[in-house]
Each structure stands twice: as C-alpha cells, then as structure tokens.
Amino acid sequence: MNKVFSYLLILLLLPGYTALGQALPPAAEPSPAPGEEDRQAIIDDEEIMEEGEAEEELEQQFSLAEPGMSGVLIDRTITMIGKTFYRQFSQLSLERPVLSNTTLSIHERPDARWGSQVWIAENNRILFQATLPPRLSEIDQYVQAAADQVEEMIIQRTIMQALDSDPDLADEEI
C-alpha cells in the first residue's frame, strides 16, 4: 500500500500527468524515452524521500481542515456612502489583528429618505448593523463603532467556543 501511495505521489509531482492516472508496478513501467532522463532523476530523488515526509507534505498541500484564506473583507455595498464606509472599515481593520484575520462581508441596503442600512456579517451571522446618514461627514463615527463592536463580538465568540467545546455538537447546535 505504501509503494502505491509513493507512486501516486510521484505521478502527481510529474508535469503532464493527472491525479487520475494509474500507478504501475515497477516491473510493468515502460523504459524511459529519450529526454525522459530528467524525469527519471526526479523519480529517483522522490523515492529517496521517506514515506512519512511524503505524507506530511501531501497533508500540507491538501489540508481540508483549515480554510484556504483568512482575513478577507467582502464588499457588498452599492452607494458612495456604502463604499466609503467599506474603505474606511477596511483601513481600520488592517490595524487590528483580530479583524485582519477574520473573513467578514459588508452589506448595504440603500434608502433615499433615511440613508443606507449597513451590516457586517461573518458566516451569515450579523455582527454590526446601523443606518448610515446621507452625509459623508458622520461616517467616521460609525466606522469606529463598527470596528469596536465587531472586534468585541469576535473575541467574545472565540472565548465562548474555547469554553464550550463539545465534540458531539456542531456550532449551530450549541
């Protein structure tokens, strides 16, 4: 089984081969064609690698347990006021490590009479919600309040997850 795994790993690392290719036993492999000496040298070098190292490297490349990106801020705003709120919040979030490592989305629902309704969400959970006034001069206060509240809620949620870890229940069930 371990030899099959190492041959599959070699096929994944060679250019021109797909992951769906079949691994052949060493006796059934065709002899290398001219110009294939470099590939044979790569295969020889890869066979020297220990099986544990190969498994660790493969685990690091294809780790599904951790998300691929963190600290993403998604802009779902429409109006100039919403875009200004997004830009100022993103600049402020770069200075705060808790916000810069969290994936957030900023949404806006514009209203001509009352201003724009803005909310900040993480995984469809609303962390901040406010109605922005039509004037741009007051947005700084809302951005500061939003950053403070979102950071506080993320810290509070992280603490609660650490204290209430139950392996039998999912996050939504708690």
Whole-number mean pLDDT of the chain?
A: 76
pLDDT at 9 over 50: no
Specify the 3-state DSSP secondary structure of 73. strand
**Domain spans, the chain:** 2-61, 73-163
Give the pLDDT score at 8: 47
Portion of the chain with pLDDT greater than 90, in percent: 41
Helix then strand count (H, E) for the chain reads 6, 4
Mean pLDDT to the nearest integer, 53-82: 73
For 79-108, write each residue's pLDDT tens digit. 999 999 999 999 999 999 999 889 999 999
Q: What value does the CA radius of gyration of the chain take, rounded to a whole number of Å?
A: 26
What pLDDT shows up at residue 23? 46
pTM over 0.75: no
The per-residue pLDDT for 115 is 86
Mean pLDDT of 127-156: 94
Q: Is 54 in contact with 9 (CB distance < 8 Å)?
A: yes
Three-class SS state of 106? strand
Residue, of 151 and 11, whose pLDDT is higher: 151
Q: For domain 73-163, give the fold.
A: Double Stranded RNA Binding Domain (3.30.160)
Give yes or no for a contact between 58 and 38, defined as CB atoms under 8 angstroms apart: no
CA-based torsion, 61, 63, 66, 69: positive or negative: positive
